[in-house]
Amino acid sequence: MSANLYFTKEHEQVRKALRDFVTKRINPFVDEWEEKGAAPLHDLFKEMGELGFLGIRYDERYGGLGLDYWYETVMLEEIARARCGGVPMAIAVQTNMATPAIAEFGSDYLKDKYLRAAIRGEMVGAIAVTEPDAGSDVAALRTFARKEGDVYVLNGSKTYITNGTQADFLTLLARTSEAPGYHSFSLFVVPTALPGFKISRKLDKLGMRSSDTAELYFDDLRIPAENRIGQEGEGFIYQMQQFQHERFSALPICYIGAEEMIRETVAYIKKRIVFGKPLIKKQVLRHRLVDWLSEIECLRQLTYHIVRLKMAGQDATKEISMGKLIGGRLLNQVADGCLQMYGGLGFMNEMHVSRFFRDARLISIGAGASEVMSDIIAKLEGF
């Protein structure tokens, strides 16, 4: 398989450890967590932290493994084998959404206190950007952090926050100035134990049901100034960079998730007899499956190209946006098409394909909708 060109024996050892973990410590519990509407993240992350899975790319000084983007890709490929989208998403929030900016722009104090705890799995993190009136248009957000001596007083609300009912800290983007433009925002680490933090409600969703999603409210929450990540006024820029880690994490989740679902569907239609023959004998279905596998391979190779760009220290915003755009579309096509091949059985909640269909829908919306990806690509292409 072409993936072997990129991965050494050491990568494969990490892959095996992760695969074992997903097989033994995640998959047997997925049905229960889907039913409950959340995975027990403190327990799960503690176990993952002890095995080093939450700090693969991070500095050894803060408890990370100090490995590179290829190892991170192995981690993302393997968590994508969970039999739901919700748990991989919760893990990716911890590793690729709530912590990259702390690692890249945070002070030693923030890294020592929050990054270290997130890597060990002793604290659960969440990323808090979206608000009721600001999703695709991030700069429209209104949550305000007003500087008062050595604290920032935070007021406002955030919505659709993954891990939001369990988080110990939020990596949160707020306005720190009313001036127009992109230099009026700052990024903070907000401990949820502080007075003034409220969970307004836990949201009920179409899919990703093993991942908890919350609406949050801040009422005069006093954030210590030392919890600001990097420079005041630069938070929007930091968050745009942090989004690249978040969006990248969607790519392996798309190609592995789609590939696994195809394999499962093929196993089913090899056995399902329709008009006297196994359904797999229908050329139209075989060709459809092969079209998807070909597109999956393109997405995988684009992902590996992105890893090469990142390893060379080059900007990969355009390629990551392309991958997220294509990946979301592909995952939805495969989910819909595989469900169709299962017929009525696919429509039953007890079937993995029906969960896959519901979970897949998020990829084209979350972490920047497809249209937002298209706008970014068009801008970078100069039109």
Q: Which is nearer to ligand FAD, 54 or 307 (CB)?
A: 54
Residue 234 catalytic? no
- CA terminus-to-terminus distance, the chain: 38
- What is the distance between the alpha carbons of residues 156 and 159, in angstroms, rounded to a whole number? 10
Helix (H) or strand (E) holding 132: none
Six-digit token string for 59:
């500095």
Closest contact distance (angstroms) between CB of 121 and ligand FAD is 18
Closest contact distance (angstroms) between CB of 168 and ligand FAD is 15
Closest contact distance (angstroms) between CB of 371 and ligand FAD is 3
Which candidate, 357, 334, 333, 330, places its Cα nearest to that of 345?
357
Closest contact distance (angstroms) between CB of 337 and ligand FAD is 21
φ and ψ of 163, to 5 deg: 70, 10
Q: Which is nearer to ligand FAD, 253 or 279 (CB)?
A: 253
- What is the distance between the alpha carbons of residues 185 and 225, in angstroms, rounded to a whole number? 14
- What is the distance between the alpha carbons of residues 98 and 118, in angstroms, rounded to a whole number? 9
Q: Which is nearer to ligand FAD, 137 or 350 (CB)?
A: 137
Residues lying near ligand FAD in the complex (CB under 6 A) are found at: 93, 126-130, 135-136, 160-162, 205, 208, 213, 362, 365-369, 371-372, 375
Q: Which is nearer to ligand FAD, 63 or 257 (CB)?
A: 257
Q: Which is nearer to ligand FAD, 160 or 342 (CB)?
A: 160
Which whole-number Å values give the CA distances from 352 to 139, 268, 306, in the listed order?
A: 38, 12, 30
Catalytic residue among 34, 246, 295, 319, which? Answer: 246
φ and ψ of 333, to 5 deg: -60, -45
- Helices 9-21 and 69-79 pack at an angle, to 10 degrees, of 30
Closest contact distance (angstroms) between CB of 359 and ligand FAD is 9
Which position's Cβ is nearest ligand FAD?
135
**Burial of 294 from C-beta contacts in 10 A (0-12 / 13-18 / 19+):** exposed
Q: Which is nearer to ligand FAD, 17 or 369 (CB)?
A: 369
Strands (DSSP E) contained in the chain are 125-128, 144-148, 151-162, 169-175, 185-191, 197-202, 213-224, 228-229, 273-274, 277-278
Closest contact distance (angstroms) between CB of 283 and ligand FAD is 35
Which residues belong to the active site?
Answer: 246
